[in-house]
Structure 1
């Protein structure tokens, strides 16, 4: 009887990864900070509302207080809860290390991969066991390259995403996925998931692609894989989930380091897409990351002549950039100023200058200039003021001196 009672207690033990580090309760809406630590949304929002600027678990200073929904963990928690019926049911993670090792070294199928996922999420110790195993990552990647079943590909992406934060995993994934000359194609399955997978799997695929793009060579391989660049772009256009949009843009931002890639994005319609993102989202914290990435990718394409031309031609996009200044975050505002400076000052596009002036852009730029922005941004604001002053139709702003230390917000 004692043994049976002990067994039941083990069955209902909550996996440590499912507990919020603040409340220690099972998370209902897990979200991650930029430090990579996940908390329950209500707990971390209370922490941030008190004025804290640090990660509670690591005490690192937060460069950004934006949170990203941890869709993988949320689904796993729901799966675990659905299997836990009081003390009579066991969570889907009740396999031993020996059983996990046998699965990893044996033949994979959807059921065995589901057991590995449950094993990994049961504890941090289990996660490290899989991540640091001598051949586990190579086995997963090999099977990933051979499989054309969407469910299998989604499960392997889920496993790779779970173990990716461990030290050394990023580099191993980079070498295995992007290895040349062995006849394997480990990038096509990512396209399959991005095209046919569920939203969570698409987000994880974009995250992994960003993770392994650690140098110019790997960035080039990902960008030059036929169709993959467009699949990532498409993720930011067809998905309504802000985390999916942000993930797609974030991956694009990482690999868009060469002019040919930027030109491809312009051809796809990235300028129009960013304009829609800026006009369609509200100002709430959950969408800040997506807006920041949208403006960052626009800043990237503005570094080439074709990009500045496309932005100047899309008057609506220019207008939306002006509207977003000072209304999202300091990071987004600085990206927006850089884009406006690129088309109005560097390219000296008159149509763009007039569009900015028509929507009270001069006042917005002056507000940014008086804010706590970087010295480089202040310099760009000063040059924008000179250009926009001549275009402004507001006589009270035309003679404005950029040395003024205060203006009244409108």
Structure 2
């Protein structure tokens, strides 16, 4: 009887059925059958695929292996004849059946995985998008764009396949093609193309060429000025992509009617942190790279950019804080910008508070702005800004900064600031820098 029982258990193990062991507490422990485990991770396979060598792995693990530059089978070390793993439906079905049989032990059935998209399928969809663009078939193009977008969002593996097969360039070309006609007539397809494009960022040079065409950029500005939140968000992300490396595009954008006003509005009425940071970055590029930046800065100052930035800085996250200070630093290169900053009650408390508080970059920008404002008043009879800086603890903060250490340029500006402030210390008793905001109504 005992021999017969042992033979049955051995036969069950050979068939890949449940193996059970009792632990020290007498509880039954499950052992995943060997054939169901990935040779790389030794975990239960969720999406078993077989290589050209005949060995089965979990798709996620073997794709990571191949993407790392390995072209051999991990188990046999044989060179792979094909890098496309084939789904092993038989093993997957056996794993699912095993999960169902042992659900009483807490085993959950693995879902049937979606078959990843292939390069051939992606190329076919992109070719059809190109044909739809040539025929100005907005409805047909819209359906195809929705399909490619859905595939890209389905998994990281699909996204890599879509991007590597030139989807960014094809979609940018389609955006350009439909933007040449009436925006109102093609708004649905243009909106969907732009939404899909944001998944493909960063774009290559050719794709940026299409998206940066005059008609496409005008469409982006039109979207940026619309009331729809998703359009505005995607539009500013598209503009950020264009101005990241191309100064010519920055100049073209600066000259487009309504562009600066729309970017300003996106900061004033924020949608999300991502869009706010993108808008600040585009504005920073405009005021630091544009050949006619003085005119742009004046327009922004007249819109109220200085007070808006200072209010934003009172309680913002690191990324927004750094970019807002960068824009304010650029604005303060102009006489109008410095004057507006000097006249704002938030300037000194906010700038001094940011030193050594958020990041090295915010410290550098804050010191730079303080230096510009105090240098301005050094040559004038009115030293109210310098006295205010002393009152909120700038002298002690700058001394601490020099002790802690900073980049050479910031160190030089901090040293010069200390000399300027020191000339007026006898006129104003410094207070604790931690009390910078005690008289402000807004929380920090």
TM tier, smaller:
0.5 to 0.7
Pair 117,195 (structure 1): closer, same or farther in 2 beyond 3 Å:
same
- Which protein shows a greater Rg? 2
> Conserved in 2, the CA contact under 8 Å of 1:93 and 1:118?
no
TM-score norm. by structure 1 comes to: 0.66
Aligned partner of 1:103 among 129, 133, 146: 129
Question: CA separation in 2, counterparts of 1:153 and 1:310?
Answer: 40
Pair 289,15 (structure 1): closer, same or farther in 2 beyond 3 Å:
farther
Q: What runs of 5+ residues in structure 1 fail to find an aligned partner?
A: 1-7, 22-85, 282-286, 398-410
Aligned length: 308
Q: Tell me, what secondary structure is at the counterpart of 2:365? A: helix
* 1:386 partnered with 2:419: yes
What is aligned with 2:387?
Answer: 354
What is aligned with 2:86?
Answer: none
What is aligned with 2:219?
Answer: 189
Pair 275,206 (structure 1): closer, same or farther in 2 beyond 3 Å:
same
What is aligned with 2:410?
Answer: 377
* 1:265 partnered with 2:281: no
* Matching of residues 194-213 of structure 1 within 5 Å: 194-196=224-226, 199=229, 201-213=231-243
* Matching of residues 138-157 of structure 1 within 5 Å: 138-146=173-181, 147-148=183-184, 150-157=187-194
* 1:278 partnered with 2:309: no
Pair 389,316 (structure 1): closer, same or farther in 2 beyond 3 Å:
same
State the 1:343 CA deviation: 0.7
* Matching of residues 8-407 of structure 1 within 5 Å: 87=111, 96-97=121-122, 98-106=124-132, 107-109=137-139, 110-121=142-153, 122-131=158-167, 136-146=171-181, 147-148=183-184, 150-166=187-203, 169=204, 171-179=205-213, 185-196=215-226, 199=229, 201-213=231-243, 214-239=245-270, 241-257=272-288, 258-281=293-316, 287-348=317-378, 350-392=383-425, 393-394=428-429
State the 1:275 CA deviation: 0.8
What is aligned with 1:37?
Answer: none
Question: CA separation in 1, counterparts of 2:242 and 2:125?
Answer: 29
Q: Deviations over 1:124-145 (max 9, x none)?
A: 1222213376x55322321244
Greater relative CO, 1 or 2 (CA 8 Å, sep 6+): 1
> Conserved in 1, the CA contact under 8 Å of 2:217 and 2:253?
yes
> Conserved in 1, the CA contact under 8 Å of 2:393 and 2:431?
no
Q: What runs of 5+ residues in structure 2 fail to find an aligned partner?
A: 1-45, 49-57, 65-109, 433-444
> Conserved in 2, the CA contact under 8 Å of 1:345 and 1:383?
no
Q: Tell me, what secondary structure is at the counterpart of 2:176? A: helix
